[in-house]
């Protein structure tokens, strides 16, 4: 696989099709899934001590649900996705920060 093929695959992976899913229609209501998608990539060439040369490249894509657009009676409403894991991790980190900060203040006295 050459560098152009890898770049073409990365371009295909980060497209509007990944951000907006296929609309779903039921009983006059249309729902369009939405995601947050981002990615990055890189590559390079080099030469070894014996004169051999080579190249390499790669990319990564991250996607997570953002919510849905609900279209009903000509009105559009965005319903955000709730990421319970992110809320829980944030709460744990905040709790740990408060706990450690209180411990430092007690030791100083």
Prediction pTM value: 0.56
Beta strands of 2-100 (E only): which ranges? 24-26, 29-47, 53-72, 75-80
Q: Residue 109's pLDDT is what?
A: 57
Q: Please, which residues bridge with residue 36 across strands?
A: 64
pLDDT in tens, 15-59: 667 778 889 999 999 999 998 888 877 778 888 888 888 888 777
Query: What is each CA distance from 52 to 2, 4, 43, 47, 56, in whole angstroms?
Result: 18, 22, 17, 6, 14
Which residue would you say has higher pLDDT here, 40 or 67?
A: 67
**In the chain, domain spans:** 3-108
């Amino acid at each position: 696989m050459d560098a152009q093929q890898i770049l073409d695959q990365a371009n295909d992976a980060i497209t509007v099709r990944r951000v907006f899913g296929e609309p779903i229609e039921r009983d006059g209501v249309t729902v369009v899934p939405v995601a947050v998608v981002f990615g990055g990539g890189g590559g390079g060439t080099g030469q070894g001590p014996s004169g051999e040369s080579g190249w390499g490249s790669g990319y990564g894509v991250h996607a997570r649900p953002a919510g849905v657009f609900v279209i009903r009676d000509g009105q559009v409403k965005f319903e955000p996705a709730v990421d319970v894991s992110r809320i829980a991790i944030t709460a744990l980190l905040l709790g740990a920060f408060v706990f450690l900060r209180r411990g430092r203040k007690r030791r100083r006295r």
